Amino acid sequence: MMPLSRRAFLSGCAALPVSLQFERLAKAELSIGNGVLTTVSDGHLTLPGSFVFEPMPWDELAPLLKEAGISEATLKPDCNVSLYRDEDKTVLFDVGSGPDFQPSAGKLLEGLELAGIAPEDVTHVVFTHAHPDHIWGLLDEFDDPLFYEATYMISRAEWDYWWNPETVNTIGEARAAMAVGAKRRFEAIEDSVEFFDGDQEVLPGIQAVSTPGHTPGHMSFEVRSGSEAALIVGDAIGNHHVAFMKPEWPSGSDQDAEVAASTRIALLDRIIADDLKLAGFHLPSGGIGRVERAAGGYRFLPEAI
């Protein structure tokens, strides 16, 4: 039996005990032409295994988890915020959890300080999607935007979904707090946000890639300079185990599991076909690595830190 339900996790994150160990703010780094892609740790989450595994076929899942050394009961995925810098811009992809989601997360400012970045240095904040661990770090203690010099950018489909007053009523009781939290943060940047659509160049060298399913308007981003490129995938590939071994399986973390599975397969195929590196928000060892085919599925190979 899995000791904590998905519903209990979603509604009770604030009640989790404070970690006694300071989170290791590991990062990975990748040169892309004249720019540098760095991942900065926002800490980690603590999730019940059922949050991801609940809709999967248990008789097939159990041996895969054993082989990968993954607990069926509790997952502690890293949270890697991607930071891209070139001579013209300093771009954050998502802003982490902030102080109000889980005590083991919300470490982004500490990680940025280690990377030599102050909040006012950030020129652009580009959102993959609006789940709490990606957007709740938007505001400071006065409920003002933390990255106050930045331009904020998000897909129109993602904004419209969370801005819609009906979303809180239709997303399900367990996720209602996510809708309330997203709307509150959107209100703080309503007058300064810029919108884009899939397959649009949002900034020079940064192309949006529509990757729906985890949320309706989830976006990934191809960062390219000359012949060098990497794909920032957000939560479109949400873990380093089952998402690679069995990408066609539904995940409980996705809002539309069927669409998300199709998206995941297409992304993995694209990464291999185009020989791309990838940066994943919840992937281990800093989250930057490459993909190879393995045993009927795929395998994530992290870059050395």
Residue 251's pLDDT band, with cuts at 50, 70 and 90, is very high
Q: Could you report the per-residue pLDDT of 125-147, keeping only the tens digit for each? A: 999 999 999 999 999 999 999 99
Which token pair is 84?
């891209």
Q: Could you tell me if residue 2 is inside a domain?
A: no
Q: What's the whole-model pTM score? A: 0.91
- 49 domain-assigned: yes
Residue 15 covered by a domain: no
Is the pLDDT at 22 greater than 60? The verdict is no
**pLDDT cut 90: percent of the chain above it:** 88
179 lies in some domain = yes
Instruction: Let me know if residue 231 belongs to a domain.
Output: yes
Q: What is the mean pLDDT of residues 289-298?
A: 94
The mean per-residue pLDDT over the stretch 39-59 comes to 97
What is the domain range of residue 188? 25-302
Residue 20 has pLDDT above 50, yes or no: no
Q: Looking at 13-22, 91-100, 217-226, which range is the least confident one?
A: 13-22
Distance CA 47, CA 7 (A): 11
pLDDT at residue 2 in the model: 39
| 141: amino acid identity, one letter | E
Judge whether 40 lies within some domain.
yes
CATH number at residue 103: 3.60.15.10
Q: Is pLDDT of 14 > 60?
A: no
> Backbone phi, then psi, for 187, in 5-degree steps?
-60, -30
Region 10-37: what's the mean pLDDT? 61
Domain count, the chain: 1
- Residue that has been written with the tokens 């309503």 in this structure: 190
4 in any annotated domain: no
In a domain, 170, yes or no: yes
User: What is the structure's pLDDT at 304?
Assistant: 63
Which one has a higher pLDDT value, 22 or 268? 268
